[in-house]
Structures are given as structure tokens and as C-alpha cells.
Amino acid sequence: MSLLSSIQNQKIFVAALDWGMGHLTRCSAIIQKLLNQHNDIVIFSTQKQSPFYNQLFPNTKQVIIPEYAVNYYPNNLVKTILTQYFRFIKSIKKENDFLKSYVSQHTKPDLIISDSRFGFYHSDIKSIIITHQIELQLPYFFQWARKINFYLINHFDEIWIPDYEDLKQSLAGKLSHTNNLTLKNKIHYILPQSLMRPIKAENSIDYLFVISGTAAEKLYYEKLFLHYAQRIQKINNHSKIVIIGGINTNKNLLKGWTNFDETNELFLKARNIITRAGYSTLMDWGKIKQPHQQLFLIDSKHQYEQKYLYKYWLQKGWAKDIKQLLK
């Protein structure tokens, strides 16, 4: 019996990080499984996450939780560090105070599950964090961030990693494996998690661009992907191109998110998918990829997790570089 399937008839609080859609979708895959096993789930969501959960889990109780409201600025690493670090730490403290207050006024859960929300734990309740980032792959001058990451993760009783334990199969490589004994004793590999499912779909899209990340990142990659799409159309003006996940929409290329079923279908309609190396997107791809489909990745600016995954997936031969499309 797998770890997830062994959890039954429990009251569980669940929350996912609010940086883009990735944490939301993979956490929802876990919520689905737990609901199927007769667990009583309370979802802690931000105002922006709530509509997504309402579509998937209309009968599940939600509690609105404060946002982290953090942004990455792809063109400005210094701005990201100076403006976001203290906001991030403050958000963790605010979140933990919020959860303690809520627990003191309501029935205690049996279990707390946090997808990368570092403040969503309670010292008197078994608390689990879901993360694929145990060993941050950072330049030497950012090694202090690794220590902070260890410290924050260590507040939790268990660490669930949505990946394969076998390094040969691992989708996250060194990111999800550690020799740190304190953390190693808490780790459980729960396999990659995705809401995507294989469905029949006509291959009617030549190129599907998938945008992910925080608001600032979405705006940056929206412009970049529009530029790439226009270059591809110059090479072949008959190409059918769709861009999803952005902030803006228009009737030509940019398509807003309607629901996850539509996203699932678009993934399977596409012959070629172009995206950053966001881990949740890679897990989605790994679950539903078809033999005729190709994945192209771009190298993310100042996002060291994704820079590592970009190189790792190219090295493994699981994806190609976007530059090969634009020659």
C-alpha cells in the first residue's frame, strides 16, 4: 500500500503555495486521492486560488488564507532579493500565526499538509510539507539560501517528495535527493503528482506555449513567447500556435485559462510544447506525453531551480532546447 492510499478517514488541513498554478495543480491531485479515501478535507486557499478549487472540489470546505504575494523579476535579480526576501519571511510568520489562531478556535485536524507553504505547520499536529526542492542548486554566493531552506523544511514532521526515489528515473535529479541525515529520515517519495490524464485529442495545434510563474514572470514570458511565436510564423505562416497561462488574452494567440480539463486537452492536441522548466509542468508532461510530441524548454533567467531542471532534462534527452526551433 502506498503512503497516500494508507491515509483514510482523517480530518486534514491542506494548503498550496500561491506562486502560479503549479503547486495548486499538483496539490489538487493529492487532494483528489485523499477525498476518494473518505478523508475530511479543509482546503486553505487564497482569494485567487479559490475559483480553481471551486471547480474541482465544489463540496469541499475552503478557508481563505493570506497570500504570500511574492514576485520574481526575471530581468532584475537584485530587485527580487531586495524587495521579496523580507516579504517572504514576513508572510511565513503571518501564515503560521493565522493557522495557530484558526486551530485554537476549531476542531483540531489529524494532519496538516502544506505544498511549499513554509508557515503552514503546527507544533502540536503532525505536519507534512510537499516539495521537490531539498537540495537547492545555487551558485556559491547563494549558499546561505540552502541553510534557510533546510531550517524552514525542518519545522515539518515529514517531507513528501513528488518524484521517484531512484535517481535514474528522477524528474528533479539532485534537487529532490539529499545526504542530510536530519532531513533524509523525514523523506517519503510519493511519485510524480499531476491532475493530467490521457484523453483522445486531435493533433490540431502545432505549437503550444505554456506560461507559468508569478505575475511579473507571466508578463515577461508573455512578451518573450509572443516574440518566439512570431519568429516561428515567419518560418511557417501556416503554423497553428496557442499561448496559455498568460495574464493578457486576445483572439489571435493568447488564450486565458478556463478550466483544467481544457488545459489537459490543449496539452494533448499539441505536437510541440514550449515552456520553462517548471517542475509541475514537467510532471504533467511526464504523465501524458505521446510518442509524436516534443517538449522544448527555455532557460529561465535567475530562477536557479528551473535553470538546473532545464539543463538536467536536456542532458537526459527528455526535452530539446527552444533554440532548435528558431534556427
> β-pairing, 241-244 with 254-255?
parallel
Residues 6+ apart with CB under 8 A from 191: 2, 162, 163, 164
pLDDT at res. 326: 81
Answer whether residue 64 shows pLDDT above 90: yes
Three-state helix/strand/coil letters over 48-113: CCHHHHHHHCCCCEEEECCCCCCCCCCCCHHHHHHHHHHHHHHHHHHHHHHHHHHHHHCCCCCEEE
Q: Has residue 140 got a pLDDT over 60?
A: yes
**106-121: per-residue pLDDT in tens?**
999 999 999 999 999 9
Residue 18: name the closest of 82, 95, 101, 74 by CA.
95
- Residue 257: per-residue pLDDT: 55
3-state secondary structure string across 173-209: HHHHCCCCHHHHCCEEECCCCCCCCCCCCCCCEEEEE
Residue 292 pLDDT > 60: yes
Q: What is the number of helices (H) and of strands (E) in the chain?
A: 9, 13
Residue 292 CA to residue 259 CA, distance in Å, equals 25
> What is the domain count for the chain?
2
Confidence check: pLDDT of 233 > 80: yes
Q: Return the pLDDT at 18.
A: 87
Task: Inform me whether the pLDDT recorded for 309 exceeds 70.
Answer: yes
Q: Is the pLDDT of residue 71 over 90?
A: no
Q: What is the mean pLDDT of the chain?
A: 88
Q: Which three cell numbers stand for residue 125?
A: 499536529
Q: Are residues 11 and 124 in the same domain?
A: yes
Q: What average pLDDT does range 180-186 have in this prediction?
A: 87
Residue 287: exposed, middle, or buried by beta-carbon count in 10 A (0-12, 13-18, 19+)? middle
Work out the number of other CB atoms within 10 angstroms of the CB of residue 323: 10
Whether residues 162 and 227 fall in one domain: no
Show Cβ contacts of residue 169 under 8 Å, excluding neighbours closer than 6 positions: none
pLDDT band at 173 (very low <50, low <70, confident <90, very high): very high
Q: pLDDT by residue (tens digit) across 260-288?
A: 788 899 999 999 999 999 999 999 999 99
Domain limits at 318? 205-324
Q: What is the pLDDT of residue 236?
A: 83
Say yes or no to pLDDT of 16 above 90.
Answer: yes
Cα-to-chain-centroid distance, residue 214: 11
Distance, C-alpha 104 to centroid of its chain: 30
Chosen domain end from 158, 189, 220: 189
Task: Give the C-alpha separation, 327 to 319, whole Å.
Answer: 17
In terms of Cβ atoms closer than 10 Å to its own Cβ (0-12, 13-18, 19+), residue 13 is buried
Please give the pLDDT value at position 75.
61
Residue 198 domain flag: no
- Single residue among 189, 217, 235 that ends a domain in this structure: 189
Question: Cα 211 from chain centroid?
Answer: 12
Question: 226, 245 in Cβ contact below 8 A?
Answer: no
Query: Which is nearest to 95 in space by CA: 131, 134, 25, 44?
Result: 44
Q: With pLDDT > 90 as the criterion, what percentage of the chain qualifies?
A: 57
Q: Tell me whether residue 10 is in a domain.
A: yes
Please tell me the predicted confidence (pLDDT) of residue 83. Answer: 59
pLDDT value for 171: 97
Q: Is residue 194 within 8 Å of residue 28, measured between CB atoms?
A: no
Residues 164 and 232 reside in one and the same domain: no
pLDDT > 90? residue 95 = yes
**Is the pLDDT score of 316 beyond 80?**
yes
Looking at the structure, do residues 169 and 214 belong to the same domain, yes or no? no
Q: Could you tell me the CA-to-CA distances from 193 to 103, 162, 229, 307, 326 in Å, in that order?
A: 28, 6, 30, 21, 32
**Long-range CB contacts for residues 103-109, cutoff 8 Å, separation at least 24:** 107/11, 108/11, 109/10, 109/11, 109/12, 109/13, 109/42
Same domain as 218, residue 138: no
Do 225 and 76 share a structural domain? no
Percentage of the chain beyond pLDDT 70 is 91
User: Confidence class of residue 255 from pLDDT cuts 50, 70 and 90?
Assistant: low
Query: Rounded to the nearest 5°, which phi and psi values hold at 115?
Result: -95, 95
Does the residue 303 lie in any domain?
A: yes
CATH number at residue 175: 3.40.50.2000
Shared-domain flag, residues 146 and 209: no
Residue 250 reports pLDDT greater than 70: no
